Amino acid sequence: MRKLHPTVAIALVAAIYTAACGPAVGETAASQTGKLAVEELATGLDHPWGIAFLPDGRALVTERAGRLRLLGTDNKLSEPLAGVPEVSARGQGGLLDVALDPDFKTNRVIFFSYAEPGPGGASTAFARAVLGEGKLDNVTVVFRQLPKVSGNGHYGGRIVFSRQGHMFLTTGERQKMTPSQDLMSHLGKVIRLNRDGTVPADNPFVGRSDAKPEIWSYGHRNVQGAAIEPKTGDLYTLEFGPAGGDELNRPEPGKNYGWPLVSWGKHYNGEDIPDPPTRPDLADAVKYWVPAISPSGMIFYTGAKFPQWKDNLLIGGLGAVGIVRLKLENGKVVDEERIELGARIRDVDQAPDGSIIVLTDDDDGKILRLRPQP
């Protein structure tokens, strides 16, 4: 029987303990600012991955198996919407994130990401479509990660929009490691595009023959969280480390974030990886976690229901089985809190009323709402 690396074993024990002690739906979760009521909005979803609220209070929610549904204001789930392309629903692959175009109110455009099958294997694709009645119209791929490769892991897949309206798209290195350092490959990169899929003229590698112009930053492992800081407009991302070493990064144009040359974690076989300070020429993380929290979706909270959390980062933790809350000041983490929910949290969002919505990563996945306990 294969032995677990100590870092993995510690994280596994912590996850089991937290899951056993976490709150059940209908009960409360503890936080530094008071108890939170945990309310179940919907259940029976197959590994829900991303959620986005519409202006009318309904929400789009993806299932990794390849289904896109609408959650009504009555908390009922629609039948799957027609028009979703074929997805490679294997391992970590499938239908991933969903986001509204900044001009959704007038154009009804949405964006979504998925593991796209094709010659050579699969890769992360990002598409736009018009949301119709029970279906998607005019589905168009705006970015396709190349090359397509074998394997079923590390797709990345988050979508966020800058203040200027550009799209940031996150990818993974598809468990191939070294292509993260190859500027002629899209693997292990953060991508920046105009919403029509064209390349902004001020992208850092535009005009270079030895680099893809879509690339914003590189040297990433598997980026599954992304959010724009309200105060500064800066992009923040979450990246899975190997055995330990998950990262919060603030990707800057053209910078190399080190994978697989350096990491705060170790390889799963216990082999050491040089720590980031050994390579001062590479960009280091804003924060890292050992043991891992396995971070996925995140938001900067801007609502009124939790005024103490204004502009804090709320991170969905798969390994942390709950929410990780971070307070930032001048680009540095000054406070951290773990809010135990007893479930693997894949995505976090803010409802129109300021309550917090989370998706649980499970065969019987749930949509949960968190409110302050009266």
Average pLDDT over residues 29-33: 94
Does a structural domain hold residue 300? yes
**Residue 122: which domain range?**
6-372
Does a structural domain hold residue 180? yes
154 is catalytic: yes
pLDDT band at 46 (very low <50, low <70, confident <90, very high): very high
The pLDDT of residue 15 is 43
Does a structural domain hold residue 101? yes
Which residues touch 22 (CB under 8 Å, ≥6 apart)? Answer: 29, 321, 322, 340, 341, 342, 343
pLDDT higher at 2 or 303: 303
Q: In what order do the strands lie in the sheet with 121-131?
A: 95-100, 109-118, 121-131, 136-144
Does a structural domain hold residue 355? yes
pLDDT digits (tens, 9 = 90+) for 280-335: 999 999 999 999 999 999 999 999 999 999 999 999 999 999 999 999 999 999 99
Calpha distance 295→297 (Å, rounded)? 7
pLDDT digits (tens, 9 = 90+) for 132-159: 999 999 999 999 999 999 999 999 999 9
Tell me how far apart the terminal alpha carbons of the chain are, to the nearest angstrom.
50
Does a structural domain hold residue 236? yes
Q: Which one of 47, 154, 186, 220 is the catalytic residue?
A: 154
The pLDDT of residue 3 is 42
Q: Which helix (H) or strand (E) holds 10?
A: helix 6-21
The structure's pTM equals 0.93
Q: Which helix (H) or strand (E) holds 8?
A: helix 6-21
Could you tell me if 225 and 316 are in contact, meaning their C-beta atoms sit under 8 angstroms apart? yes
Calpha distance 227→158 (Å, rounded)? 9
Calpha distance 64→70 (Å, rounded)? 15
* Residue 38 scores a pLDDT above 70: yes
Calpha distance 4→22 (Å, rounded)? 25
* Residue 22 scores a pLDDT above 80: no
Could you tell me if 189 and 272 are in contact, meaning their C-beta atoms sit under 8 angstroms apart? no
* Residue 126 scores a pLDDT above 90: yes
Could you tell me if 264 and 295 are in contact, meaning their C-beta atoms sit under 8 angstroms apart? no
Q: Which helix (H) or strand (E) holds 7?
A: helix 6-21
Does a structural domain hold residue 1? no
Does a structural domain hold residue 91? yes
pLDDT digits (tens, 9 = 90+) for 53-85: 999 999 999 999 999 999 999 999 999 999 999
The pLDDT of residue 374 is 85
Could you tell me if 45 and 70 are in contact, meaning their C-beta atoms sit under 8 angstroms apart? no
pLDDT band at 278 (very low <50, low <70, confident <90, very high): very high
**What tokens does 341 get?**
């929910």
Calpha distance 184→29 (Å, rounded)? 46
pLDDT band at 2 (very low <50, low <70, confident <90, very high): very low
Could you tell me if 63 and 69 are in contact, meaning their C-beta atoms sit under 8 angstroms apart? yes
Q: What is the CATH number of the domain that holds 187?
A: 2.120.10.30
Could you tell me if 128 and 103 are in contact, meaning their C-beta atoms sit under 8 angstroms apart? no
Does a structural domain hold residue 313? yes
- In total, how many domains does the chain have? 1
